[in-house]
Structure 1
Amino acid sequence: MSHATHSNAALTPRARLRLARLIVDDGWAPARAAERYDVSWKTAAKWAARYREEGPAGMLDRSSAPRHQPNRTSAPMVRKIVHLRWKHRLGPVQIADRLGMQASTVHAVLVRCRLNRLAHVDRATGEPIRRYEHQRPGDLIHVDVKKLGRVPDGGGWRYVGRQQGDKNRAATAARTGAPKSRYHQPLVGTCYLHTVIDDHSRVAYVEAHDDETKETAAAVLRNAVAWFAERGVNVQRVLSDNGGAYRSFLWRDTCAELGVTPKRTRPYRPQTNGKIERFHRTLVEGWAFKKFYSSESARLAALPAWVHDYNHHRPHSAIGKRSPITRLDNLAGHHI
């Protein structure tokens, strides 16, 4: 197992071990071994002494932090800072004002406790968000539906403006014969994106449909399980919200037929399915509203390429800035 060392180190742990063994085991003089590795004789003697005392384990870097830090914020004060952050969602300046401290000190404590970003704190409970990740691809997949208004012929209002956008909607609705809303506004329909995310790898599978019925949801699940199987992933569980399609007997029977255990989130707790909620935001920003589309068909034509780029090329911050597909390591007998 290799260990990282700091950027200014003259020797890696492996080179330190070889240097120390030359002195201790082979009887070299420290000055001669130091010349061999282009370091000072004091450095060579230090690693030799540490090797005598601790063996190979002593070659690793040690923390440079002092053992005793008398000016560090006391534990009771840290608890007060954390309490104000959790329960009242205050920032460093407000907390510092209440406790008579420096805002920079409060910020340092929040960073140490991983509370410097409010995104780390659950809005409903005020508690730190518990991050989890299943160990293997296929252990759990998340499913959901993202609804998007269809793009009218000529483009939507985000790019052509409200006035022209309304004209485009009216013309498209007249062409397709779509009914008007109860406020007599022309409608162009809704695109239902059935999305599937693998919990471990973040690899995504997406299908666009005209509805979110139980039949469509069950068909998407079949297709997704087959798609993942082609890539060496055996799906074990599926997590959904409490939508009607996922509470149906058809969904239950389809899961049983595929050998997949269905699970549902707690009601009114979308955070439980947070990975797919975050993917939807990426999907909207990176594809749906990223650029001008002259029609819904033009936008849908760009979807497969975007999903491929997301899976194969886009660095994902939650998995070490790797692309999701690199985590599909179930191939060639892995995880058996």
Structure 2
Amino acid sequence: MALVVLSVVEQRLDAVRAVLAGAEVTEIAAQLGVHRSTVHRWVTRYLSGQLAGLADRSHRPVSCPHQVDEAVEVVVTEMRREHPRWGSRRIRLELLRHAGPWQRGDLAVPSERTIDRILIRQGLTRARPLKRPRDSFLRFERPGPMQLWGIDIVGGIELVDPTSGVVREAKIVTGVDDHSRFCVLAAVVERATSRAVCVAFAEALARYGVPEEVITDHGKQFTGRFGRGPQRGEVLFDKICRRNGITHRLTQPASPNQNGKVERFHGTFRPEISEQGPFSSLLAAQAAVDTWVAEYNTERPHQALDQQQPVVPADRFQPATPASPDVELWVPPSLVLKPALEAESIVEPSVPQRQPGDAIELDRVVPPSGNLWVGGRQFWLGPARCGQVVRFWLDCDWVHLSVGGQRVKSLRSRFTTNDLDLLVSQGAIPAGPEPVASRGGPGSQAGRRIVEVERTVAKAGTVSLGAHLVLAAEILAGRHIGIYIEENAPLLFFDPDTRELLRTRPNPLTHDEATRLQQSRPPGSVPRPSTEPVTVQRRVSAVGTITVCGQTIALGRVYQHHTVTAHVAETTIAIELPDGETTTVRRTTDRPVRSIKGQRPRTATPSIS
């Protein structure tokens, strides 16, 4: 006997016919496993609609009083498609700001949860990674504007060369007011150097006034407290803050959340501004950034200010006003601000025109270690002077250090005119008269002995000074030279006829040993290096570089293993290339020339099998 599978409608029809034929409803319901009311409903639907009435029907209600209006859903959907980065909170704030049917009382502005459901129904949501819950963060906000600025550097701006098509990345120096989230600084720079960052910061101070505090990370543009070597000490950004009474705060290492407001600003700013690139020039990029910042400050409601009503950063920001007319903004004279951004309060000190080699002055704050670095040179003052401001008086002959107007140390200078010009570009100013110390006091010349002797350099390039054998230079072998000996200063080897400085070496002599040298005589003028360029030869390495006076110069692998001629002057090095071209680079070291000929290529030593 074959099994016949009946459909649901057929089963219901058989049950209805059995009931209409006189069967008990309870028996039919028990056979089908349903409630007797269900059988009664089948009979009613069959009598009214015949066989079609036994089919399944939708349980959806005919109307839903709390369902969002179709017009509102259309507006929400179009806003999300036009601005894919807008979330439910931003969409709701925009609906509150702009006029529409809901502002006339016809429709109600939907809640954030309703907007979320609309976006889910329309398939306009995107998956996001899981984050820490909001209640786990410790939020803080200053009670008023201009109390704290968060400053940082971010990339994301692409510049393309119209001729070559080369794409490079520029940097943006950004600053946000902590209370109002007002963007006080957004400057596009080619490279985020210390000077470029300080120019942008000074322009923001000129435009909006001086805040009470600024907070940054440990970038070398902002602080030198944690640097090593010459980078340790007070940088130009710290000096601007100190001279204007701004407290400079630093975040903890690896804790960007402590400067979270500017970091959150980057999360909004960087994706939107990068979509407009690449840009053809810095001016075009800056124009786009200025337009975006103007809209952000005055038109765009900020979600962190008020979640119920649309509030823009400009509503809560107020520029600082000087407490008295005597309050002036200090800006280093070496920083040239844009004319459109200069304020009347900016003070450009009137300083006399400085000539190359003239003395300069600058200030440094002693770090906890007691080591100060100026122009790549170290000066020891000791931890006991931590926090004191030291005034440096520099020229090509002497370096004087003063604290509180009294000189505490004087050293023989190793700075060149090029080094002095570089320090001027970093904020140093022309110096006044050389500081004078009291007789016998710190830094005075009383009790110090300076003598000269003449010696003939041995074949190995050495000279004998008492019980010490000092290396002069191999290329000076057999030459009669003079030696300028000063206590606690390097030895100066010079030509006795022209007093041209040939070499400098560490001084191993004590005071007593220097006074007992044979054939010593009173000193003449301080030996000076020759102004004529010194010609040397160097062999290009396998990676295309040469080393002259401790400075590595890249020439390119195309010249590897070639011998080139270099003319070393006081501030430049000119290299004659094998193809007849000449390239000139800036000299960055003060080391003297110690070898004239380049090293011969090394040959491999044959192995003994």
Normalising by structure 2, report the TM-score: 0.28
Between Structure 1 and Structure 2, which shows a larger proportion of helix residues? 1
Q: Which has the higher contact order (CA 8 A, sep 6+)?
A: 1
